[in-house]
Structure 1
Amino acid sequence: MSDQSRDETATTGPEGPDAPLHRRGIKSYVLRAGRMTQAQTRGLEEVWPRLGLTLAEGRQDLDALFGRRAPRVVEIGFGMGASLVEQAETHPDTDFIGIEVHAPGVGKLLDEADKRGLTNLRVYREDALRVLEECLPEGSLETLQLFFPDPWPKKKHHKRRIVQPAFVELVRTRLRVGGTFHMATDWEAYAEWMAEVMDAAPGYANTAAPETAPYVPRPEFRPLTKFEARGERLGHGVWDLIYRRVE
């Protein structure tokens, strides 16, 4: 399993296809218990009041939230947060919002962000679908990142995969026209699933060159995680897909 969180989704359930995604009853994440380190606890207790966001705050005015107008990147399932912190530090002119349900990862990211003095990073510890539906304005994002989500490899569990038609349409509405949806996975079968769903989704275009389609080489701006580096040494593959909103 990746060092990134295996995140969340919902698919059609008893309430029907017009119900909000988060109310359809099938999640793609499992909350895991884990011990909290001193640094993680500090992050949640001392840094959260400054950098943490909640559903109760409702629809965000992102310019007011960050005190400026800038490109906005959202990452779903940031795991322990090393990649997201690195991106925020490397790209100070971009604002980042991370969404993660697991307390140790949220605490670790907050502690590290505070130690590095980052002001361009905020965090939700909430269901990502609810954040997208209830808190992020339409057309407000430059990029949405989904790195190493749970592949749910058993066929009977495929309905739990976050990459589903309804989810990618929700993502499209939150991206600006020209914005990108960037996915990465270490499961080839899931990469093929992602490409199939995205190629059928209206309003998107694959950014891959014909010779590598549907995949793109790992972009330099996506930090190499410890998990991925270990996988590379063992000969494991990683597949990146980047689709642009065209309408």
Structure 2
Amino acid sequence: MTVHGEAGPARAWIRSYAARRGRRSALTLERVERFLPERRIPDGPLDQHAVFGRVAPLVLEIGCGHGAAAIAYCQAHPDHDLLAVDVHTPGIARMMAAAHDAGVDNLKVALGDAVFVLRDRVRPGSLHAVHLFFPDPWPKDRHAKRRFVSAFTLELISSRLAPGGVLRVATDQELYATHTLAALEAHGGWDVVIGDRPAWRPTDGFERKGIAAGRAIHDISATRS
């Protein structure tokens, strides 16, 4: 299930996010210029000691949005390091500014597709956990193949997690929760717990919208066995 490039016949996955076009605000550009040089990981395989100044339990968050969960995790786990990955620059910029204001220094970022970050930059067996909170649900049947959780991504995540590492997923979409549980069962090699919401995870905008719409929040914790 190797991905040889972002396009072409060997591609084993389909992009799970929609591109956002438009001009970046002056505030976003200012934040990027100020904070990205010190927060962005360098190209190539991740050297955790060089980037974070230590080797500690490493967490990767996929689709960090504005960074509320990433920052909360770093504050609750100062002895851990977190790499936040997203394709959308405004969200990354806002998160970096908030992390700076909060004095959080165990948080770094990667701008780009999480599949390529996992494949090319994260060493096998090096992750303590992977977080996927409120991903795009792609609710229509014809778009189901765009959901991030798939046989391919589970195999990739499993290969990057250390033994006993955890994949945490949260969604306000019952369809996505059912899809995730079915994919985990089909993949095998996971001990799954449903409803295990981490105490440190804040209620962010996506979750509040889901609750306001009357939807239940589904927390899934899958430990690599």
TM-score over 0.5 (shorter chain): yes
The TM-score with structure 2 as length reference comes to 0.91
Q: 2:185 aligns with which of 199, 216, 235?
A: 199
Contact 1:143 1:182 in 2 (8 A): yes
Residue type of the partner of 2:211? E
Which stretch has the larger CA shift, 190-199 or 38-47?
38-47
Code of the aligned partner of 2:37: P
CA contact (8 A) 1:137 1:174 kept: yes
- 1:41 aligned to which of 16, 29, 33: 29
Instruction: Give the equivalent residue in structure 1 for 2:218.
Output: 239
User: Offset at 1:29?
Assistant: 0.6
Map of 1:86 onto structure 2: 72
Q: Secondary structure at the match of 2:219?
A: strand
Q: Deviations over 1:136-157 (max 9, x none)?
A: 1111111100011111111111
Q: Which residue of 1 aligns with 2:16?
A: 28
Please tell me whether the aligned partners of residues 51 and 122 of structure 1 are also in contact (alpha carbons under 8 angstroms).
yes
Deviations 1:22-67 (A, max 9, x none): 442621111113554444322211110111125xx21112122211
Q: Which residue in 1 is equivalent to 2:132?
A: 146
SS in 1 for 2:66: coil
Per the alignment, residue 160 of structure 2 pairs with 174
Aligned length, in residue pairs: 221
Identity %: 37
Residue-by-residue CA offset, 1:114-171 (whole Å, 9 max, x unaligned) = 2223210100111111100000111111110001111111111111111110110100
What are the residue-to-residue correspondences of 1:1-247 with 2, within 5 Å?
A: 17-20=1-4, 22-23=6-7, 24=11, 26-34=14-22, 36-54=24-42, 57-206=43-192, 208=193, 215-246=194-225
C-alpha displacement of 1:183: 0.6
Q: CA RMSD in A?
A: 1.8
| CA distance in 2 between partners of 1:176 and 1:163 (Å) | 19
Q: CA deviation at 1:203?
A: 2.2
Q: Which has the higher contact order (CA 8 A, sep 6+)?
A: 1
| 3-state DSSP of counterpart to 1:53 | coil
Contact 1:34 1:104 in 2 (8 A): no
Residues 21 and 166 in structure 1, CA contact (< 8 A), matched pair in contact too:
no
| Alpha-carbon separation, structure 2, partners of 1:239 and 1:245 | 19
Flag the 1:78–1:134 CA change in 2: closer, same or farther, 3 A: same
How far does residue 218 in structure 1 lie from its aligned partner after superposition?
2.0
Describe the shift of the 1:49–1:78 C-alpha distance in structure 2 as closer, same or farther (beyond 3 A): same
SS of match in other structure, 2:167: strand
Q: Is this contact kept in 1: 2:190–2:224, CA < 8 A?
A: yes
Unaligned runs of 5+ in 2: none
Contact 1:42 1:111 in 2 (8 A): no
Q: What corresponds to 1:13 in structure 2?
A: none
TM-score (norm 1): 0.83
Structure 1: gaps (5+ residues): 1-16, 209-214
Aligned mates of 1:109, 1:85 — CA distance in 2: 8
